[in-house]
Amino acid sequence: MRGLVLIILLFIHVPLSAQPAGEPPAAATPRADFAALDKNKDGYLSKLEAAGDREIAKRFSSFDADGDGRLSEAEYVYAKQDNDRRVLRDAALTARVKAALLAEKGIPSLSISVETYEGQVQLSGFVPAPDIVSRAGRVTASVSGVRSVHNNIAVK
């Protein structure tokens, strides 16, 4: 048993000690998604190259921290993380709106679809009376984090 542990430790230790002391580690390869967008392989994304990712292209200038008209890999990583946070915020907001509609008596919340993008909430679906349309819009607008409501609920 000790021999097996010794062999495992030896295999783990050998690759770590293979690099000479004081030498920096080899440069990491670029992210696969960044490399796929970087068509000219210059290590940066131009506005044209960034158009391959709609969410990054939409707010390109806000992610271009140094204002050079292109995104470095670090700026791209930040942009992807920012987009992931936006998606989570929108999903949480959608859940809060759905919960508020469920809690409201007289609103057939299961007949109403809720979609959120950057705090803008879109309601759609069918309800039996016009007053329910306006109540659903007011309930949605009262939820914390809602920036605007696009009420596309129809009466059938």
Q: Which pLDDT tens digit goes with each residue over 23-56?
A: 434 345 668 999 999 999 999 999 999 999 999 9
The predicted model gives 127-138 an average pLDDT of 96
What's the pLDDT at 27?
Answer: 45
| pLDDT above 60: residue 14 | no
Question: Residue 148: inside a domain, yes or no?
Answer: yes
pLDDT level of residue 114 (50, 70, 90 thresholds): very high
Question: Residue 123: inside a domain, yes or no?
Answer: yes
Tell me the residue range of the domain where 146 lies.
87-155
Identity of residue 96: R
Q: What is the CATH number of the domain that holds 108?
A: 3.30.1340
Tell me how many domains the chain contains.
Answer: 1
| Strand order from edge to edge, sheet including 112-117 | 112-117, 120-127, 148-155
Question: Residue 8: inside a domain, yes or no?
Answer: no
Question: Residue 82: inside a domain, yes or no?
Answer: no
The predicted model gives 55-82 an average pLDDT of 94
What's the pLDDT at 31?
Answer: 87
Question: Residue 151: inside a domain, yes or no?
Answer: yes
Question: Residue 125: inside a domain, yes or no?
Answer: yes
Q: Which pLDDT tens digit goes with each residue over 73-99?
A: 999 999 999 999 999 999 999 999 999
HEC per residue, the chain = CHHHHHHHHHHHHHHHHCCCCCCCCCCCCCCHHHHHHCCCCCCEEEHHHHCCCHHHHHCHHHHCCCCCCEEEHHHHHHHHHHHHHHHHHHHHHHHHHHHHHHHCCCCCHHHEEEEEECCEEEEEEEECCHHHHHHHHHHHHCCCCCCEEEEEEEEC
Give me 137's structure tokens: 């819009």
Across all residues in the chain, what is the average pLDDT?
86
